Chains A and B, each alone.
Chain A
Amino acid sequence: MQFSRANWKRLRLTGDQRNVCYPHSLQFYLEPPSESISLIEFESLAIDRVKLLKAVENLGVSYVKGAEPYQSKLESEIRRLKFSFRENLENEYEPRRKDHISHFILRLAYCQSEDLRRWFIQQEMDLLRFRFSILPKDKIQNFLKDSHLHFEAISDDEKKLREPEILASSPSLSGSKTDWESESVYKIPFADALDLFRGRKVYLESGFAYVPLKDIVAIVLNEFRAKLSKALALTVKSLPSAQSSCRLQPVLGHFSHSYTGQDYSTQKNAGKISLDQIDSLSTRSFPPCMRQLHKALRENHHLRHGGRMQYGLFLKGIGLTLEQALQFWKQEFIRGKMDPDKFDKGYSYNIRHSFGKEGKRTDYTPFSCMKIILTNPPSQGDYHGCPFRHSDQELLKQKLQSYKISPGGIHQILDLVKGTHYQVACQKYFEMIHNVDDCGFSLSHPNQFFFESQRILSGNKDIRKESIQPETPQPKPGVQKAKDASSALACLNSSLEMDMEGLEDYFSE
């Protein structure tokens, strides 16, 4: 995909031509798109796909793939985000186009490191596997043919001839008469069925493997993985030219880490929390990262810079006003034998700054999970960060035990942590302390945790109208509405800029 402006071609399609472009609901993404699109569409398509892939990941660790409720939940996610999924529907051009273009955009963002590549390939494979699983049988052959995969089904006579051998070789065949009659068997060169024949899970004869349809999927997916892996390796080589385009650089650079939901900086909730509620709120509705910060603050009457940033902005997000914040921190620091004047001179500036009342007056946004997990890891004496990411297993276990989580729950959480699914682990914690089976949301922000918790605890009453719809990032109040997408992006990234402000020098520890 060429990004130099000179090479973008214009393609306008009408009516039937559009269906020819995308004859199927799924594809192998062999050809990059050749349209030109606006930068805003570029960004929004990509954001939607990131959301989709994150949903794929989430569902994949919470439910058994291929069975209910995974299948229906994934289908509704795909529908909600307006991507293609069903073969038989009419007017699927837009969703299929979206699917096509967004995949290629994400290749640019996710080719950049081994971890990113692995994640991207895994989720794309799971997505493809799902789409393939809902393809009607009669469409499968056509799809394979159009994708240049030469899998030919054998005739019934040939099938009958080898019935005992094929049944004895393929674990995926149950042996029931009805299954056998309806199952297609494909004849492919043995080398194309490596994962099947190496474990003797397929019948071989004269250099061909006789593969039932169920197993063809595994082969197709492997093909897909191999091709995508190669493509990503090539993409990363051509990336420098894409990055040199200053319009794309911010998008590509931050995508994989970007938070794509609400930013919790609106002052809608301001003043709804009173300071004496915070202690009880911290055990009932705070995510573990904030709960631990609050506890450390109460015990030590102090927090270091990283902790003050992370916790302070969170408190702002749950509704503390500037006045409340100043009172809150001062009270606590004074208990730690700090001189009130010193507080006024030093720390209060920082607090006012974070509310946008000092300096360049940017209203800083509370940190998202991604930001907390990926940046500024805690060291000795720090209490910020994500406990699921940054605490060692033993300590985490003890902490969860002190929070009265059941051993079964702790076990599940630790398993998720081992699989590096930190946010899903936090969701599990949410489910345990609220005693629900399914938290009902995909966690990506500590304030979201708080919001959802309050929602459940208050019985979903008046909070319903403020229900969260993760949309494209909203411009912050007080900031001029951006005409150009890049400055909108700059706002999104302001929380990243905060670290570079140099406040640390002011309060060096």
Chain B
Amino acid sequence: METFDPAELPELLKLYYRRLFPYAQYYRWLNYDDIYIRYQSFNNQSELEKEMQKMNPYKIDIGAVYSHRPNQHNTVKLGAFQAQEKELVFDIDMTDYDDVRRCCSSADICSKCWTLMTMAIRIIDRALKEDFGFKHRLWVYSGRRGVHCWVCDESVRKLSSAVRSGIVEYLSLVKGGQDVKKKVHLSEKIHPFVSKSINIIKKYFQEYALVDQDILENKESWDKILALVPENILSQGHFYTLQQNFPKYHNSLQRWEYLMKAISLQDSTKNDKCGPCLEWEIMLQYCFPRLDINVSKGINHLLKSPFSVHPKTGRISVPIDLQKVEQFDPFTVPTISSLCRELDAISINDEGKEGNEAESDTKRRTRVSYKKSSVSPIINSPWIQPRMDQSGKLINLPANRSQIFIY
């Protein structure tokens, strides 16, 4: 693994923006050729390119499309400068799962807990597509410990803050902070969204929870699960013996089966029931996605741009191929330093082969650079095309996009 040293960033960023950043795709992704805006931030791609190469931004965040040129907002009459539209975005962060993952905590991630992101993408994307009918969804690795989703459909960009909040609420099942033990409560009637999400989780649960996370490994860990069982049930027959017998089993898989049996036995007796779906409630608490509502509801909210460089890890915020979600490995995502090293290696090779080309060195390097780097397969993937490639259509004016360059 190539190491990344944040101190190298300034130099690396220069190279990144000159040779690697996919300006064409990025620019088209930001543009909407179906709106006419009078004032613009960048008149065309080359202006964007020049500006970025001049600034070598440390960080790029994308904000809303405004009624006026953002950099002139001070000259506009008070109240007239307004955020008019913005993509619907979601931010899923691994730290929000610290109470249910045993392998890592806070900013750390590993292959054992990354499955949480896989499940999150599957569950949320299904709902966005099938329930809400959203067509243009871009999932991006955040660069460190989570994923972002950008929904760019025209109708979606105009949604109010209230509707955005409503969408997040619809997608939320895990509620409560540190002081709340049981965070998922299902009612008698199970909404199709819940049942479909459970079906997705079922595909991963055994491998993720019972093997990788080993959630019933020892007393400390299984006590946490039992804390989700209603108190009045724990002291009763089946569950009392369960706690005695747990140590006799060898692994989480066996204990989970035993637990399921106890639940169904309890429910079939005349005594207190466990509740509509205790099994599902446990699975949801351990696996269901946790969204940050503040990121999604604000039209003004800034979110880190795709293809930006994460300042702490050096990793590029690369899009995730929905056809290959399970195969996505955050640890193989190129860092800016590895990319630049790659680039140097390529140019050295090229120089040898095509020394008698008419075009200048720099031009050639620019042309071939990102295509041959490891970023390129990601960029050229077909699934990114619908949003980015408006083939045949003249790309008119860019959006009044507020982009914060931090340098």
Which chain A residues have a beta carbon within 8 Å of chain B's beta carbons? 165, 168-169, 171, 190-191, 194, 197-200, 203-208
Question: What B residues does A190 contact at CB under 8 A?
Answer: 132-133
- Are B133 and A200 in touch, CB under 8 angstroms? no
Complex formed: what's the CA distance from A171 to B170 in Å?
15
B130, B134, B159, B194: which contacts A205 (Cβ < 8 A)? B130
Are the C-beta atoms of B192 and A165 separated by less than 8 Å? yes
Residues of A within 8 A of B313 (CB): none
Please tell me which one of the listed residues A191, A200, A207 contacts residue B191 in the complex, with CB atoms under 8 A apart: A200
Residues B163-193 near A (CB distance < 8 A)? 163, 165-167, 169-170, 189-193
* B170 in contact with A197 (CB, 8 Å): yes
Q: Are A168 and B192 in contact (CB under 8 A)?
A: yes
Q: Are B130 and A200 in contact (CB under 8 A)?
A: no
Pair B132/A194 contact, Cβ less than 8 Å = no
Contact, CB under 8 Å: A169 / B192: yes
The answer to whether B257 has its CB under 8 Å from any CB of chain A is: no
Q: Could you tell me the distance in whole angstroms from the C-beta of B82 to the nearest C-beta in chain A? A: 18
Q: Is B354 among interface residues, defined by CB-CB distance under 8 A?
A: no
In the complex, B394 has a CB within 8 A of chain A: no
Tell me, yes or no, whether B162 is within 8 Å of chain A by CB.
yes
- Say yes or no: A191 contacts B163, CB within 8 Å: yes
Q: Tell whether A198 pairs with B165 under 8 Å between CB atoms, given A165-B192, A171-B189.
A: yes
A200 and B162 alpha carbons, distance in the complex (Å)? 15
Cβ–Cβ < 8 Å partners of B193 in chain A: 200, 204
Residue in B132, B159, B165 whose Cβ sees the most chain A Cβ within 10 Å: B132
Cβ–Cβ < 8 Å partners of B192 in chain A: 165, 168-169, 203
Docked pose: A339 CA to B133 CA in angstroms: 87
Contacts A190-B132, A191-B163, A207-B132; is A199 near B189 (CB within 8 Å)? Answer: no
Pick from B134, B166, B189: contact of A194, CB under 8 Å: B166
Instruction: Give chain B residues whose Cβ lies under 8 Å from the Cβ of A207.
Output: 132-134
B170:A198 contact, CB within 8 angstroms: yes
The smallest beta-carbon distance between B84 and chain A, in angstroms, is 17
Q: How many residues of B contact A (CB 8 A)?
A: 20
Enumerate 16 A-B pairs (CB-CB under 8 Å) in ascending A order.
A168-B190, A169-B192, A190-B132, A191-B163, A194-B166, A197-B170, A198-B165, A198-B169, A198-B170, A199-B169, A199-B170, A200-B194, A203-B191, A206-B132, A206-B133, A208-B133
Residues of B within 8 A of A (CB): 130-134, 159, 162-163, 165-167, 169-170, 189-195
Is the beta-carbon distance between A198 and B131 smaller than 8 angstroms? no
Q: Which residues of A contact B134 (CB under 8 A)?
A: 207
User: Is A169's CB under 8 angstroms from B191's CB?
Assistant: yes
Q: Which A residues are CB-close (under 8 A) to B191?
A: 168-169, 200, 203
When chains A and B are docked, how far (Å) is the Cα of A198 from the Cα of B163?
Answer: 8
Shortest C-beta distance, B85 to chain A (Å), equals 14
List residues of chain B with CB within 8 A of the CB of A191: 159, 163
- In the complex, the answer to whether B133 meets A194 with C-beta atoms within 8 Å is no
Complex: A191 Cα to B192 Cα, angstroms: 19
CB-based nearest A residue for B135: A207
From known contacts A168-B189, A197-B170, infer whether A204 and B165 are also in contact, taking CB-CB under 8 Å.
Answer: no
**B169 and chain A: residue at smallest CB distance:** A198
CA distance A165 to B192 in the complex (A): 6
A-B interface, 6 closest residue pairs, ranked by CB to CB distance from nearest:
A207-B133, A198-B166, A206-B133, A204-B131, A198-B169, A200-B191
Residues of A within 8 A of B131 (CB): 204-206
CB neighbours of A205 from chain B (8 A): 130-131, 133
Point out the residues of chain A lying under 8 angstroms from B169, CB to CB. 198-199
CB nearest to B191 among chain A residues: A200
For residue B130, give the distance in angstroms from its CB to the closest CB of chain A. 7
Residues of the A chain whose Cβ atoms lie less than 8 Å from the Cβ of B159:
191
Q: Nearest Cβ distance between residue A264 and chain B, in whole angstroms?
A: 49
Separation of A169 and B187 alpha carbons in the complex (Å) = 11
A165 to B133, CA, bound (A): 17
Contacts of B163 in A (CB 8 A): 191, 194
Rounded to whole angstroms, the CA-CA distance of A208 and B131 in the bound complex is: 8
Give Cα distance in the complex from A198 to B191, angstroms: 12
**Which residue of B has the minimal Cβ distance to A164?**
B192
List B contacts of A198 (CB < 8 A): 165-167, 169-170
Chain B residues positioned under 8 Å from A204 (CB to CB)? 131-132, 170, 193
Rounded to whole Å, the gap between the CB of B359 and the closest CB of chain A is 49
Q: How far is the CB of B38 from the nearest CB of chain A, in Å?
A: 27
How distant is the Cα of A171 from the Cα of B190 in the complex, in angstroms? Answer: 10
- B9 CB → nearest A CB, Å: 42
Known contacts A168-B191, A169-B192, A200-B193; is-contact A206 B170 (Cβ 8 Å): no
Using Cβ atoms and an 8 Å threshold, which residues of chain B touch A208?
A: 133
Contact residues in B for A171 (Cβ distance below 8 Å)? 189
Tell me the nearest residue of chain A to B127, going by C-beta.
Answer: A204
Q: Select from chain A the residue with minimum beta-carbon distance to B133.
A: A207
Other-chain contact of A200, B132, B165, B170 (Cβ < 8 Å): B170
- Chain A hits for B189, CB < 8 A: 168-169, 171
Q: Tell me if B162 and A194 are in contact (CB < 8 A).
A: yes
A194 CA to B131 CA in the complex, in Å? 14
Name 13 extra pairs, CB < 8 A, besides A200-B191, A204-B132.
A168-B189, A168-B191, A168-B192, A168-B195, A190-B132, A190-B133, A191-B163, A198-B169, A205-B130, A205-B131, A205-B133, A206-B132, A207-B132
CB of A484, distance to nearest CB on chain B (Å): 45
Cα A200 to Cα B196 in complex, Å, equals 13
Task: Kindly provide the distance from the CB of B125 to the nearest chain A CB, expressed in whole angstroms.
Answer: 15
Cα–Cα, bound, A199→B165 (Å)? 11
Closest to B129 in A: A206
A198 (CB) vs chain B CBs: closest residue: B166
Q: With the chains together, A165 CA to B196 CA distance in Å?
A: 11
Write the chain A residue with the least CB distance to B158. Answer: A191
Which chain B residue has the least Cβ–Cβ distance from A200?
A: B191
Residues on A with C-beta less than 8 A from B195 are 168
Give Cα A205–Cα B129 distance, bound, in whole angstroms.
9
Q: Which residue of chain A has its CB nearest to the CB of B134?
A: A207
Kindly state the separation between the CA atoms of A215 and B159 in the bound complex, as whole angstroms.
22
**Contact yes or no, B130 A206, CB < 8 A:** yes
Q: Determine the distance from Cα of A169 to Cα of B192 in the docked complex, in whole angstroms.
A: 7
